[in-house]
Structure 1
Amino acid sequence: MDEHALDAERDAILGALRCVADGIAATFGPVCEAVLHDYRHPENSVVAVAGSVTGRAPGSAMSEIGMRVLARGDQAEDELNYVTRTRSGKLVKASTMVLRDSGGAVFGALCLNLDVGAVHEAHTLLGALAGLGTGASDAPVTTFGNDIDAVVDAVLDTHRIGRSRPWAALDRTERLDLFRGLDAHGVFAVRRAVEQVAGRLGISRASAYSYLAQARAATDPTTAGEPA
């Protein structure tokens, strides 16, 4: 099947799933949100939203979770029943189900988000009354935004957490590790992400592209020259 026919097929799958998203959100009520993504357009991948948990609308950006799926390409798998937090602190139980065309290529996702904050609070209260520990671990924070630049910034911040030294003080291996980690999270699948990362790190765009190329290609970090 040629690419034009595949795109038509993908559009048809997304169109058919719009009513599915509406039905899921209507069934579970105001604590549920169903989000339909088209990864052919990562900067504004959201094509439909039913319900409101993460505050996004059609045309919004994908989250770090979506970029991670994008980075895995056709090897991506469903991520089901995981718990995360929004940057505002809302506790969310979520599932990300990848969409494939007839050739097996991943081109989008249907994501379900449940606001479980009230349930968690009730569980904590009942546990305290019963003299039991909550046993809950801290859920990771996920950026759900309308702007892909904010999502890229959040991923970069996550990878810089714990680093007390500026970029200039990092050795070459640490710099390549940073770019390798960002790449594994799908950051560089987004347009202008290299420029954005370069700006945040205070390096030139050419240097950023050089580090990215070396991070992708080098198996021995001593084999290539250091960019400026």
Structure 2
Amino acid sequence: MSKKKDEATNLLDQLEQIARGLGETFAPFCEVVVHDLQDPNHAIHAIHNNLSGRQVGDPATELGLARIADPQYPEVIANYANRFPDGRQAKSTSIGIKDSNGRYVAALCMNLDLSLFQSLQSAMGQFTAIVKNGITENLNTRNADTIRQHIDEFSARQATTPRALKADDKRMLLRELKDAGYLEVRKSMEVIAQHLGVSRAAVYSYVK
């Protein structure tokens, strides 16, 4: 066996162990595939936590063929949109592996099944939905912690974090806090500014 062949075989063996570990860690949500780019017609060298229904010995994908054709093709392509054969949406990351001559000989690919996470996201959205019927109630004594909690809950409804809220969202948040009486709490403006990561002057501007 040639030195070049030995090197490629060693890389594939190591990748297979990495793929096995990743597959077991992220099961059952993530498929991990090792591609042997030296044999594009039978490229799939190993597949762990099989979600796509492919088999060892199946041919290379378009991305694999692109790497074979162009050594300058990006080594890492992360979090790109993909789809399983049955239509399920996936998020994929592909890592190309080169030999000592700079030629692509293998690839490690991870395909994350988004369908379960999308279902969970929908369920969480329904679970945290609040009916706006004009009734407001605060079961806790108003203090800095309850102000922070209200901000966190508002941010969660916007699918973001307090510090990532947009200006219009911050104005809406301040209206909610004002209507609920939180702005009357001692040092409320300081608490809000700190939790949003802005100045007190900015908080006052959102109240106007």
Q: Note whether the superposition's TM-score is higher than 0.5.
A: yes
Specify whether residues 133 and 44 from structure 1 end up closer, same or farther in structure 2 by C-alpha distance, changes over 3 A only. Answer: farther
Contact 2:97/2:105, CA 8 A, preserved across alignment = yes
Summarize the alignment of residues 175-186 of structure 1 with structure 2, pairs less than 5 Å apart.
none
Q: What's the counterpart of residue 103 of structure 2?
A: 105
**Separation in structure 1 between the aligned mates of residue 124 and residue 2 of structure 2, nearest angstrom:** 56
Deviation at 1:91, TM superposition (A): 1.1
Q: Unpaired runs of 5+ in structure 1?
A: 135-228
Instruction: For residue 89 of structure 1, report the CA deviation from its aligned partner.
Output: 0.8
Corresponding residue number in structure 1 for 2:11: 13
> Residue 99 of structure 1: CA displacement?
0.5
CA deviation map 1:166-206 (0-9, x unaligned): xxxxxxxxxxxxxxxxxxxxxxxxxxxxxxxxxxxxxxxxx
Larger Rg: 2
Counterpart code for 2:118 = H
Deviation at 1:88, TM superposition (A): 1.5
For residue 13 of structure 2, give the secondary structure of its aligned residue in structure 1. Answer: helix
Q: More relative contact order in 1 or in 2 (CA 8 Å, sep 6+)?
A: 1
Number of residue pairs aligned between Structure 1 and Structure 2? 132
* Partner in structure 2 of residue 79 of structure 1: 77
Give the alignment of 1:153-192 within 5 angstroms: none
**Equivalent position of 1:205 in the other structure:** none
User: Once superposed, what is the RMSD of the aligned Cα atoms?
Assistant: 2.4
Question: Residue 34 of structure 1 aligns with which residue?
Answer: 32
In structure 2, the CA distance between the partners of 1:90 and 1:102, relative to structure 1 (3 Å rule), is: same
Q: What is the match of residue 94 of structure 2? A: 96
Report the counterpart of residue 50 of structure 1 in structure 2: 48
Calculate percent identity across the aligned residue pairs.
29
**Which amino acid in 1 is paired with 2:9?**
D
Question: Any conservation in 2 of the 1:38–1:47 contact (CA below 8 Å)?
Answer: yes
Deviation at 1:68, TM superposition (A): 2.7
TM-score scaled by structure 1? 0.52
